[in-house]
Structure 1
Amino acid sequence: MLRAVDTVRDVATGTLIFLIVGAIGVAVLVLALLGGELLHFGQPDFDGPVSTETVAGFAGAFGFGGAIVNELLGARTPGMVALAVAGGVLAAVPTAWVASRLGRAARDMPTDPTPTRAHLVGALGLVVTPVPADGYGEVRVRVAGTPVKFNARADRPIPAGAQIFVVEALSDTSVHVETY
């Protein structure tokens, strides 16, 4: 009877070790995804040969895959533990590859450039507050798909509700407009 209890304890210990490795992998992945840009460990400009996401994916899948195989086999001998390790590696390699590809795709994703004052020229909009000939009014212009209000000057008065286009960006918050 004592032998059966020792076997259960051995299986539970092996599984526990695999589960701890898997949990460490998940914790590293969470740190990489949520705090990767905020908390640079080591040299921030150094990209090693393997990304943090790849290591985390490998460790997580290895730990959880090894725990599953260990429980299914009831690993009693070093050979069975070696099979559990092999099962963990079998789960970890494709997971690490997928994590590497997804991480690279996210880092290399093309994005639109940040809009600047130069992007305002030619933009269409609407007068919100009448634009007098000798002062400023307000216009609403779409910048990168988002409606933004600007102070506006014009060569002649423009009433509220008139459609306009931007002739020049005078500053980051004001534009020179004409009717459309």
Structure 2
Amino acid sequence: MTKVATVPGVGTATVVFLIIGAIGIVIAAVAVLGGDLLDLGDGFVSTELLAALVGGFGFSAAVVNELTGDALGVTAVVFIAIFAALPLAFLASYLVKRMSNMRTDATPTRADLVGTRGVVVTPVPAGGFGEVRVRIGGQPVKLSARAERPVPLGTKVVVTAAVSDTSVIVQEVPEQ
């Protein structure tokens, strides 16, 4: 008969339950880091639900077993742990579905550049290219820029046309 190594003061059943809980963490880690390795699809039972169920069962059983000692017995501990793990699993599954269906902003396009205000970071010569920094969606973006007249460093500009996704035509913003 194989003996499970125990920690002093911790029962064998508790160690087994902790190992089951750790397996739940491993399932979640592999699902997150391993891509499609453990993908169960979008059905009723998802990888997240399985990980939360196994982890919740193992850790709940370990806690109940340690708190009650031998007073309840392993069978009662297992039933209590299942009762505790089911809501955790369904909550985890619900939260993952809500996050995966969360709306996000549309990806900025070339049309979103027109009308954007910015500042010249590399002087724009007449007929040549310089660089401007604008903010799109709250993020700073550096773009190649042309202008009808030379525009010096630090000048505030507005984008009047987008030649490509990375190249724009700018015009100085009049001082107010």
Structure 2 counterparts to residues 20-31 of structure 1, below 5 A: 20-31=19-30
**Contiguous gaps of at least 5 residues in structure 2:** 1-9
Structure 1 residue 83: deviation in Å?
0.7
For 1:59, the equivalent position in structure 2 comes to: 54
User: Is residue 119 of structure 1 aligned with residue 78 of structure 2?
Assistant: no
Change beyond 3 A, Cα 1:72–1:139: closer
Structure 1 residue 49: deviation in Å?
1.5
Q: Determine helix, strand or coil for the equivalent of 1:22.
A: helix
Structure 1 residue 31: deviation in Å?
2.1
Q: Determine helix, strand or coil for the equivalent of 2:148.
A: coil
Change beyond 3 A, Cα 1:45–1:84: closer
For 1:153, the equivalent position in structure 2 comes to: 146
**Contiguous gaps of at least 5 residues in structure 1:** 1-10
Structure 2 counterparts to residues 64-103 of structure 1, below 5 A: 64-75=59-70, 80-103=73-96
Distance in 2 (CA, whole Å) between partners of 1:154 and 1:109 is 41
User: Is residue 48 of structure 1 aligned with residue 47 of structure 2?
Assistant: no
Distance in 2 (CA, whole Å) between partners of 1:109 and 1:84 is 38
Change beyond 3 A, Cα 1:74–1:146: closer
The amino acid that maps onto 2:43 is G
Contact 1:124 1:163 in 2 (8 A): yes
Q: Determine helix, strand or coil for the equivalent of 1:110.
A: coil
Distance in 1 (CA, whole Å) between partners of 2:40 and 2:89 is 22
Distance in 1 (CA, whole Å) between partners of 2:14 and 2:89 is 21
Distance in 2 (CA, whole Å) between partners of 1:138 and 1:157 is 12
User: Is residue 172 of structure 1 aligned with residue 165 of structure 2?
Assistant: yes
Kindly tell me the number of residue pairs found equivalent between the two proteins.
Answer: 164
What RMSD in Å do the two structures reach over aligned CA positions? 2.4
For 1:4, the equivalent position in structure 2 comes to: none
The amino acid that maps onto 2:56 is A
Structure 1 residue 129: deviation in Å?
2.7
The amino acid that maps onto 2:144 is N
For 2:3, the equivalent position in structure 1 comes to: none
Distance in 1 (CA, whole Å) between partners of 2:155 and 2:67 is 74
Structure 2 counterparts to residues 26-37 of structure 1, below 5 A: 26-33=25-32, 35=33
Contact 1:75 1:84 in 2 (8 A): no
Distance in 2 (CA, whole Å) between partners of 1:138 and 1:176 is 10
Structure 1 residue 123: deviation in Å?
0.6
